[in-house]
């Protein structure tokens, strides 16, 4: 009997949401409208009542946050090299310079101990990422930001449903950005949300979202800033609304599956091989991803071959991510190999295993068994 291919991730969309989308499509209003407003209200409730605006991507929310903070040419923004490239592209889009700081090898997030050494008179903000949903230490992060008068744009694209000090990510802090891309813990097909500090910022975010337009009365229109076309459709918002009630159950299931990975992989044989597991955090993280770091010095094959062998065994894996500073765009800005050695080593060896709510315990066992078999067959 052949086993179906296990993808790296897959969204779970219920029938009610599918019916709700059909309803929106039949309603006569399919772009931004009442569903967008409803989604913003629900997200705001999730984020402790803070203002929230939704957009057609997580990427644009970060660029808009930087613009609202007045960050542009001549400014520097401190960020991590281990992220989706959007994280630092938005800094360039805003006209500022990204300054990469090496990561903590255990959390794989920006190393907070190294941030202060990277601060210069041009630094205006810190843009940290909660990789795989594991939150950066918010207490230390904001202590540093406060001490140096810096804004924070939290790239919490992967951290919806994660918590810090018992509160949801988004309920505390400065700007907080979420993504609802299909591989995230909840999706709106594509989409993002920005948590802001006050109504003034929220109004500015609305202007940046739609060509800078401000309407008044029946026929009034003014444009004082240049905005983009970043609005979310009601169709997408309806998908997001259908996902929200499942957030806790989805994340609880992810936690269970992550525990199952630990039961299998946190074994003496794997430890002896030097396979690095993620921090065993079962309180704060939403387990957006389960990432291992392969022990390159103990293996006779490289990551790509490990991935090919798992693929041949019917298992999808992913790389999240190559180090941003070594992409051509960033090399042209002067970044080079050896600048951020910890990130470079981790990025060469990091491997994301399948993890999504519809997976079974048997799927986890199958992945863990296949990985164990590949690593133990190809070690020095």
Ligand X SMILES: Cc1ncc(COP(=O)(O)O)c(C=O)c1O
Catalytic center residues: 184
Q: Give yes or no for a contact between 197 and 174, defined as CB atoms under 8 angstroms apart.
A: yes
Q: How many CB atoms lie within 10 A of CB 70?
A: 11
Question: What track of x and - describes contact with ligand X for positions 4 through 43 (by CB under 6 A)?
Answer: ----------------------------------------
89 binds ligand X (CB under 6 A): no
Taking the complex as a whole, the smallest distance from the CB of residue 9 to ligand X amounts, in Å, to 12
Q: Which stretch binds ligand X (CB under 6 A): 80-88, 137-145, 273-281, 293-301?
A: 80-88
Work out how close the CB of 185 gets to ligand X at its nearest, in angstroms, rounded to a whole number: 11
Q: What's the burial of 1, exposed, middle or buried (CB within 10 Å: 0-12/13-18/19+)?
A: exposed
Q: Which is nearer to ligand X, 182 or 316 (CB)?
A: 182
353: part of which helix (H) or strand (E)? strand 350-353
CB proximity list for 3: less than 8 A, separation 6 or greater:
314, 366
Residue from 59, 162, 207, 285 binding ligand X (CB under 6 A): 59
Q: Which residue is nearest to ligand X (CB)?
A: 58
- Residue 299 gets which letter from DSSP? B
Closest CA to 86 of 18, 10, 179: 179
Nearer to ligand X, 83 or 163 (CB): 83
* Residue with Cβ nearer ligand X (196 or 289): 289
- Write the DSSP symbol of residue 129: B
Angle between helices 15-26 and 234-243 (to 10 degrees): 160
Site for ligand X in 127-186 (CB under 6 A): 129, 155, 157-158, 179, 181
Nearer to ligand X, 11 or 58 (CB): 58
Using CA atoms, how far apart are residues 334 and 9, in angstroms rounded to an integer? Answer: 35
Choosing from 84, 287, 335, 356, the residue that interacts with ligand X (CB under 6 A) is 84
Measured distance CA(148)–CA(177) in Å, rounded: 22
- The residues, any chain, with a CB within 8 Å of residue 220's CB and separated by 6 or more, are none
Please identify, among the stretches 39-47, 51-59, 243-251, 342-350, the one whose residues bind ligand X according to the rule CB under 6 A: 51-59
- For residue 75, the tally of other CB atoms under 10 A from its CB is 18
Yes or no: say if 129 and 83 are a contact pair by the CB < 8 Å rule. yes
Residue among 83, 88, 123, 285 that touches ligand X (CB under 6 A): 83
Does position 107 bind ligand X by CB under 6 A? no
Q: Binders of ligand X: how many residues, by CB under 6 A?
A: 14
* Residue closer to ligand X (CB basis): 35 or 181: 181
What are the residues binding ligand X (CB under 6 A)? 57-59, 83-84, 86-87, 129, 155, 157-158, 179, 181, 192
């Amino acid at each position: 009997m052949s086993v179906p291919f296990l993808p790296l991730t897959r969204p779970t969309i219920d029938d009610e949401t599918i019916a709700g989308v059909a309803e929106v499509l039949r309603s006569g209003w399919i772009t931004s409208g009442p569903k967008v407003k409803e989604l913003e209200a629900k997200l705001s409730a999730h984020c402790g009542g803070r203002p929230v605006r939704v957009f057609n991507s997580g990427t644009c929310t970060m660029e808009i946050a930087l613009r609202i903070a007045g960050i542009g040419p001549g400014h520097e923004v401190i960020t991590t090299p281990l992220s989706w490239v959007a994280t630092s592209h938005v800094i360039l889009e805003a006209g500022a310079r990204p300054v990469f700081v090496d990561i903590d090898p255990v959390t794989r997030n920006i190393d907070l101990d190294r941030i202060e050494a990277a601060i210069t008179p041009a630094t205006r903000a810190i843009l940290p990422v909660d990789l795989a949903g594991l939150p950066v230490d918010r207490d230390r992060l904001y202590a540093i930001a406060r001490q140096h008068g810096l804004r924070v744009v939290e790239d919490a694209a992967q951290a919806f449903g994660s918590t810090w000090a018992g509160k949801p990510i988004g309920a505390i802090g400065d700007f907080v950005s979420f993504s609802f891309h299909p591989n995230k813990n909840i999706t709106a097909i594509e989409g993002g949300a920005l948590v802001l500090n006050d109504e003034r910022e929220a109004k500015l975010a609305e202007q940046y979202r739609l060509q800078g337009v401000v309407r008044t009365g029946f026929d009034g229109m003014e444009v004082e800033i240049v905005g983009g076309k970043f609005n979310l459709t009601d169709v997408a918002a309806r998908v997001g609304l259908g996902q929200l009630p499942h957030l806790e159950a989805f994340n609880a299931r992810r936690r269970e599956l992550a525990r199952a990975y630990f039961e299998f992989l946190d074994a003496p044989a794997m430890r002896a091989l030097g396979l690095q597991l993620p921090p065993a955090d079962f309180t704060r993280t939403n387990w957006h991803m389960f990432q291992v770091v392969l022990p390159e010095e103990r293996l006779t094959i490289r990551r790509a071959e490990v991935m090919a062998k798992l693929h041949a065994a019917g298992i999808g894996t992913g790389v999240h991510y190559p180090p941003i500073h070594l992409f051509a765009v960033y090399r042209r800005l002067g970044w080079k190999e050896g600048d951020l050695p910890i990130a470079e080593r981790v990025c060469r060896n990091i491997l994301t295993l399948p993890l999504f709510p519809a997976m079974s315990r048997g799927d986890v066992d199958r992945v863990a068994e296949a990985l164990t078999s590949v690593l133990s067959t190809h070690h020095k």
